[in-house]
Amino acid sequence: MNYGSIRRFLGMVLRFEAAFLLLPSIVALIYMEKAGLYYLLTAVLCFGVGTLLQLVRSDKGAFYTKEGFVGVALSWIVLSAFGALPFVLCGDIPSYTDALFETISGFTTTGASILNDVGALNHCSLFWRSFTHWVGGMGVIVFILAVMPLTGGYNMHLMRAESPGPSVGKLVPRVRDTALILYSIYFGMTVIQCILLMICGMPVFDALCITFGTAGTGGFAVRSSGFADYTVLQQAIITVFMILFGVNFNAYYFLLLGKTWKEKKSAFQMSEVKAYFGIIAFCIVTITWSIRGFYGSILMSFHQAAFQVGSIITTTGYSTVDFDQWPQYSRSLLVLIMFCGACAGSTGGGIKVSRILLMLKTVKQEVLHFIHPRSVSTVKLDGKAVDKETVRGVNVYLAAYCMIFVMSLLIITMFDNQDLVTVFTSVAATFNNIGPGLNAVGPMANYGHLLPVTKYVLMFDMLAGRLELFPMLLLFVPSVWKVKRR
């Protein structure tokens, strides 16, 4: 393990967080809130510690996949640990455990909250909660690579460790340019949504915070009433953008920057994107029919179904109604798409549509092999053969996913006396970075009443889910931490 490189990298991450923390300080200045002082103090602390970590001399060594995965996992833990401090210092969230839960939920774009009254927070704290969604959505490390690329072969190892999906490729030859393209598209879509919400009459602060949550597929509300105070048109805009941010960003690259019509057309021909929209359409139509008598008209039922389906499948976690009161079919379907998630290469969480497709195609291949034992076939996606290494990676991911899920269930049920639906959906909602579950953690409830041990298990699940499992799992492998002797 190259400890020196990781230490310097963590120092750089903390210095970037110091810059992030200046933004809520500015918000506090606008609203004349004393809490902004604590954000400023935390920014100074982050900058100081980060500078010290970068100043410590160490031998330059190789930086491989192992260092990339461990560095990314530790950076997200450190970001959250320092990012939670202002909540405690200003008194908005007195308990550090609760503040850490809220911050990890923000950076991992989960949106699971421990707060009973969101409206009681300072504006700077509301802004910080939502801004962590935006930074965590495309990835903290991807942001750093876009702004200040590293040298020595770090880039691809770090980007691969943080990016969502079964595989990560470069849109253009240089990793820095790929990161810059991704964040440019991300920033552009964020600006468009924010402007549209303001045009439709939403207050500037609300529009900004909700756009941060939509872009990062987070889910933190800025009002105690949730989305009840917003108009149907404003909710419809949020619905559209939740779904758009769940699309593989490679599709936007081909659509916007493709040099030929064939490249632009390929954005609409990606199997994952077509399956993603197909799942959404099926769920909206069937849930609309299931809840047709709930909201007075079929159009309003369609609106509520579309918002909740878009929110859950993209793992955003916003809610306009208490879907925990819907018929059993609708609730069951929403739980299923919690696991499905959005596209790989998007800001959404979950298993990812591409993995679901590869899993189904692998099952189909095995069934056909039983029928025709001597036949030779390959798994294909978008007309291209998928190599065995990728298929193996998907299978290993699903096995690790099930293992962590079951372990989380067992630990929580051992210590916390909650009903099975609450426990199951709380793990599903945090592991897949969604936010609300059912029963005691439903859309009109929160996670504040859970025991500390349960919260720490769910914090691990949030981080593991956002970082695609393996960076967090590597932290528990003793051999990873050994220093290679020369």
Model pLDDT for residues 280-318, shown as the tens digit of each residue: 999 999 999 999 989 989 999 999 999 999 999 999 989
Q: Is the pLDDT of residue 35 over 90?
A: yes
Helices and strands (H, E) in the chain, number of each type:
21, 2
Q: Is the pLDDT of residue 30 over 90?
A: yes
User: Which residue, among 137, 132, 121, has the nearest Cα to 87 in the 3D structure?
Assistant: 121
The pLDDT confidence band at residue 168, using thresholds 50, 70 and 90, is very low
Lowest mean pLDDT among 27-36, 115-124, 361-370, 444-453: 361-370
Q: Is the pLDDT of residue 158 over 80?
A: no
- The pLDDT of residue 176 is 67
The pLDDT confidence band at residue 481, using thresholds 50, 70 and 90, is confident
Higher pLDDT, 144 or 211: 211
- The pLDDT of residue 331 is 94
CA 150 to chain centre: 24
DSSP assignment letter at 417: -
* Rg of the chain over all Cα atoms, to the nearest angstrom: 22
The 3-class SS string of 315-363 reads CCCCCCCCHHHCCHHHHHHHHHHHHHCCCCCCCCCCCCHHHHHHHHHHH
Structure tokens at 470: 């393996």
Q: Is the pLDDT of residue 155 over 50?
A: yes
Average pLDDT over residues 142-168: 59
221: left (phi over 0), alpha (psi -120 to 50) or beta: beta
> Domain extents for the chain?
3-233
